[in-house]
């Protein structure tokens, strides 16, 4: 894969928050974050003490955000607690598998589906999903007798790239290929707009990684996933 054409993906959160999704966040030149009810992600302009201080100012005492880093913590950070969560694989669609038809219709989801979307996400825990996450992009789903049983949607949006996220299926309907069908459908919609689908998955989620590889996604790079919040007064912590 030609990494030079994917430069925005090296800093996906920062790129999204300073371009196409600036309206969904807040911050300034050194640090930015999504609004808490949209997503828990934040990003720094650079790994510097000044940028970490700027991020500190964006957090309430009981709040946490999650950042993607190229390496482990830079060292002690005044007034912040940094906790290593895991390693995340960034995967990009290079040869998206063609979709297949079945009896269950994929539908567009909208604001009227917001409660069902949140309920399904809370039940299946595909990753962070808040009250306004569904407004980050296009969401599709499958209903069975009126019940939302599967969904997938768009999260981070960069120039030329759209992240697929919140891929989840109710446990009673798993093993039927619904997640793969939604990813293929959403991926085709993204490609039809002239954009490239990508996604993030924890490195220890081997079954999901295998599924995404079969669907046509390729590992691009890995990030350290770090949770950041206020430290106890007078202390600093490292990973």
**What confidence score (pLDDT) does residue 4 get?**
45
CATH of domain 3-90+223-237: 3.40.630.30
Same fold flag, 3-90+223-237 and 92-198+207-216: yes
What is the pLDDT of the chain when averaged over all its residues?
90
Burial 133-151 (b: 16+ CB within 10 A, else e): bbebbbbbbbbeeeebbbb
Q: Which two tokens stand for residue 53?
A: 């201080």
Average pLDDT over residues 109-128: 95
**What confidence score (pLDDT) does residue 232 get?**
72
Distances in Å between the Cα of 118 and the Cα atoms of 24, 38, 43, 156 are 18, 12, 25, 18
Tell me which fold the domain 92-198+207-216 belongs to: Aminopeptidase (3.40.630)
Taking the whole predicted model, whether its pTM rises above 0.75 is answered as yes
**What confidence score (pLDDT) does residue 170 get?**
97
**What confidence score (pLDDT) does residue 99 get?**
57
The residue extents of the domains of the chain are 3-90+223-237, 92-198+207-216
**What confidence score (pLDDT) does residue 95 get?**
87
Residue 54 DSSP class: H
Residue 237 has pLDDT above 70, yes or no: no
Angle at 141 between CA 137 and CA 143, to 5 degrees: 150
Q: Is 95 helix (H, G, I), strand (E, B) or coil?
A: coil
**What confidence score (pLDDT) does residue 102 get?**
55
Average pLDDT over residues 96-104: 60
Q: Is 179 helix (H, G, I), strand (E, B) or coil?
A: helix
**Per this entry, what is the length of the chain?**
239
**pLDDT band at residue 75, thresholds of 50, 70 and 90?**
low
**What confidence score (pLDDT) does residue 233 get?**
52
- Report the relative pairing of strands 161-169 and 147-158 from DSSP bridges: antiparallel
DSSP sequence for 218-236: EEEEEEEEEEEEEPSTT-E
């Amino acid at each position: 894969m030609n990494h030079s054409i994917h430069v925005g993906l090296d800093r996906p959160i920062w790129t999204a928050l300073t371009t196409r999704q600036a309206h969904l966040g807040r911050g300034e030149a050194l640090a930015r974050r999504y609004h808490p009810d949209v997503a828990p992600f934040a990003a720094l302009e650079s790994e510097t003490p000044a940028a970490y201080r700027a991020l500190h100012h964006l957090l309430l005492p009981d709040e946490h955000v999650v950042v993607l880093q190229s390496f482990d913590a830079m060292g002690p950070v005044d007034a912040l607690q940094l906790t290593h969560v895991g390693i995340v694989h960034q995967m990009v669609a290079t040869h998206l598998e063609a979709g297949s038809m079945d009896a269950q219709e994929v539908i567009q989801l909208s604001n009227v589906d917001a409660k069902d979307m949140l309920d399904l996400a809370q039940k299946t825990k595909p990753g962070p999903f808040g009250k306004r996450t569904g407004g980050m992009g296009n969401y599709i789903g499958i209903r069975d007798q009126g019940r939302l049983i599967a969904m997938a949607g768009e999260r981070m949006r960069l120039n030329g790239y759209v992240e697929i996220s919140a891929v989840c299926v109710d446990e009673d309907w798993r093993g039927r290929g619904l997640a793969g069908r939604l990813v293929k459908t959403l991926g085709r919609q993204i490609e039809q707009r002239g954009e490239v689908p990508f996604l993030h998955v924890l490195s220890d989620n081997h079954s999901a990684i295998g599924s995404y590889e079969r669907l046509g996604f390729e590992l691009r790079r890995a990030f350290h996933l770090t949770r950041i919040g206020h430290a106890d007064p007078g202390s600093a912590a490292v990973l």
